[in-house]
Amino acid sequence: MSYGYNNGWGGCGCGGTVQYAPPACNPNFPTSCSALGSGTIQRVVGEDSAYCKYTVPTLTSNSLLTYNASTGLVNWADGSTSNPIYLGNGNQASSSSVGSIQGTTPTGQLVEFNPSVSTETQFPIVSPSGTTTSWGTIEKIVPNQGLVYKTGSTAPTGLNPNTVYELSTSTTNVTTGTSPANVVAFDSNGNPIIVPAASLTTSSAFIDANDISITATSGTSLNVNFGQLVVTNNSGSQVVISGASGGYSLSLTSGVDNGGTLGTATTNTYYYVYAVYSASTGTISTLLSTSSTNPTVGSGYYYRLIGLFKTQNSAATADTTYFQNGSFVYLGAGSSPSYSVTGNNTASTYNNGGNPIVFIPYGVATFARLRVVYKSNGTSLNGSFAITNAASSPSIIYGSTTIAPIGNSINAYSNINAIIQVSGSAYYNVQFSGNITSNETFSIITSGYELNIF
């Protein structure tokens, strides 16, 4: 039976007992009353409870009933783009302040999903049989043993830029067309560099400086030797080649890149030595170019910078004493640039007058090998020499050496490795303990380089 009360509360008698119910809309109390037996007290809501009801939208698919704190609405969500599942404040954030979703498995086990602590980054799915799957995890994305990578904005031939791919021993090599592909690195664009295992017979496939040697066989010809090389085309694709026994003959009259046509070398010019591979014919050759980064090669050609060469200061020929062993280059006596000062008997300090020393680019070499030569007329002087960042009063020294006292008409020599700076110019600064007379000379000769292209 029911009774009315002036204070707006309602009552319910179940089994001869009465319990006053709180005002409607209190979520801590049930909204119905049913007798459970004699003496049992049940709670009911007031007659105005209808005003607190909210109609939930009809379920149309397998979904979770969620509350969006941003909109204040309750709705069904299936995790799709149009119906996402929100946690915490509704922004799908993953942090310690985000709440979790709880549920039970068919066997009654309570489970929790929290994006800040769960080992998997996606919702675990529990089937009616109680089996938990790992849908959406990295284990399911990579079904084979291998690598998942994303190409760069410039992708190799046959691949799309900014696209996720999988590499494994069962997939075709995307850069060489061979299988399997089990040696992988990445270039500056984020694209894979893949080398077939069969080609990796020695470690020189990647660290090949010790297999490179270049010598002058005559004034117009070089002999170029190398082992295995990774060569690249203008699209960024790479393959592995192996040099022929006995090397390659490189002509200074027909093997020089002159802007797209092969021609003759010019006097007092630095040239960069390239190994070149034709994908269409499988032919390996060599090339001289004035560019240290972009030789002129046609479509379908691969190339690799392997050395440095310079024609003589007074002729378009090779100094026969020139050689390159691994990363060290000796330019040859007739090809070495020289800077000289002559004594005037009034000064003990000599600079290069603001004209910088010209070195090859930092990206090709780390050090320049300099030879310092002082010829005396009999005056024994102590000398100091430095490569600096300023024509005078240097604040940075890139290398230095000293010249000891010497006798009459005797040349004194000293070698120095001078650092090639990333930017800016280098200058020489010379200081003696006394004045150099007019028939005394001091020379700085760039005799060679230590390359860093390997």
DSSP-derived secondary structure for 32-74: -----STT-------GGGGGG--PPPPP-SS-EEEEETTTTEE
Q: In this structure, are 344 and 382 located in the same domain?
A: yes
pLDDT over threshold 70, residue 91: no
| Structural domain boundaries enclosing 159 | 146-192
403 domain residue, yes or no? yes
Within 13 A of 164's CA, how many CA atoms are on the CB side? 5
Domain-embedded: residue 115: no
Of 162, 192, 222, which one is at a domain's C-terminal end?
A: 192
In this predicted structure, what is the pLDDT of residue 230? 85
Report yes or no on 96 lying in a domain.
no
The residue among 272, 257, 282 whose CA lies nearest residue 309 is: 272
Q: 185 and 155 in one domain?
A: yes
- Return the sign of the alpha-carbon dihedral for residues 142, 146, 152, 155: negative
Report how far Cα 36 is from the mean position of its chain's Cα atoms: 72
Least confidently predicted of 59-63, 388-392, 446-450: 59-63
Token pair for 361 = 């680019």
175 and 212, same domain (yes or no): no
**Domain-embedded: residue 131:** no
- Choose from 33-37, 150-154, 312-316, 361-365 the range with maximum mean pLDDT: 312-316
Q: Out of 163, 192, 221, pick the residue that ends a domain.
A: 192
> Do 70 and 61 form a contact (C-beta atoms < 8 A)?
no
pLDDT score, position 199 = 52
27-41 pLDDT per residue, tens: 555 555 554 445 444
**Could you tell me if 421 and 324 lie in one domain?**
no
Higher confidence at residue 411 or residue 194?
411
User: Do 339 and 444 touch, CB atoms closer than 8 A?
Assistant: yes
The three-state secondary structure class of 192 is strand
Question: Is the pLDDT reported for residue 293 higher than 70?
Answer: yes
Same domain, 317 and 341: no
On the CB side of 105, CA atoms within 13 Å amount to 15
Nearest to 178 by CA among 192, 191, 166, 195: 195
Percent of the chain with pLDDT over 90: 26
Q: Would you state the structure tokens that stand for residue 447, as one six-digit string?
A: 């005799």
Rounded to the nearest 5°, which phi and psi values hold at 51?
-70, -10
Cα-flanking dihedrals φ and ψ of residue 41, to 5°? -95, 130
- If asked whether residues 323 and 213 sit together in one domain, one would say yes
Final residue before a domain boundary, out of 280, 298, 330: 330
**Backbone dihedral angles phi then psi of residue 310, each to the nearest 5 degrees:** -140, 135
Of 323, 288, 324, nearest to 303 by C-alpha is 288
Average pLDDT over residues 197-214: 59
Compute CA 119 distance to the chain's CA centroid, rounded to the nearest angstrom: 29
Q: What is the pLDDT of residue 266?
A: 95
| Dihedral (Cα; 163, 166, 171, 174), 10-degree rounding | 40
Instruction: Name the β-bridge partners of 384.
Output: 402, 431
Q: Do 262 and 289 share a domain, yes or no? A: yes
The number of distinct structural domains making up the chain is 4
List Cβ neighbours of 212 (8 Å cut-off, separation of 6 or more). Answer: 225, 226, 227, 306, 307, 324, 325, 326, 327
Q: Which of 102, 107, 65, 58 is nearest to 86 (CA)?
A: 65
Integer Cα distance of 142 and 191 in angstroms: 18
Q: Which amino acid is at 162?
A: N
Mean pLDDT on 318-347: 89
Q: Residue 286's CB: how many other CB atoms inside 10 A?
A: 24
The continuous run of DSSP H or E covering 422 comes out as none
Mean pLDDT of the chain: 74
Residue pair 65/57 in contact by the 8 Å Cβ criterion: no
Given this model, what pLDDT does residue 205 score?
41
Give 251's strand partners: 221
Tokens at 74, concatenated: 């309750």
Residue 109 belongs to a domain: no
Pair (238, 184) in one structural domain: no
Residues 419 and 387 in one domain: yes
Q: Residues 188, 220: one domain?
A: no
Which one is predicted more confidently, 252 or 135? 252
Asked whether 303 and 273 are in contact (CB, 8 A), the reply is no
Residue 36 lies in a domain: yes
Averaged over 405-423, what is the pLDDT?
80
Alpha helices (H) in 265-401, listed in sequence order: none
Q: How far apart are CA 283 and CA 84, in angstroms?
A: 57
Segment 50-73 shows an average pLDDT of 66
141 membership: H or E segment, kind and range: helix 138-141
Reference 287, options 269, 263, 266; nearest CA is 263
Whether residue 139 has pLDDT greater than 80:
no
CATH number where 352 lies: 2.60.40
What single letter denotes the amino acid at residue 421?
Answer: Q
Residues 6+ apart with CB under 8 A from 237: 156, 157, 175, 302
> How far apart are the C-alpha atoms of 146 and 138, rounded to whole Å?
12
* Residue at 4 is within a domain: yes
**Contacting residues for 440 by C-beta, under 8 A, at least 6 apart:** 342, 343, 374, 375, 376, 377, 379
Distance (Å, whole) CA 257 – CA 255: 7
Report yes or no: 114 and 100 within 8 Å, Cβ to Cβ: yes
Domain co-membership, 271 together with 242? yes
Per-residue pLDDT, 10:
46
pLDDT of residue 183: 63
Whether residue 315 is found in the same domain as residue 256:
yes
> b vs e for 250-276, b when ≥16 Cβ sit within 10 Å of the residue's Cβ?
bbbeebbbeeeeeeebeeeebbbbbbb
In a domain, 6, yes or no: yes
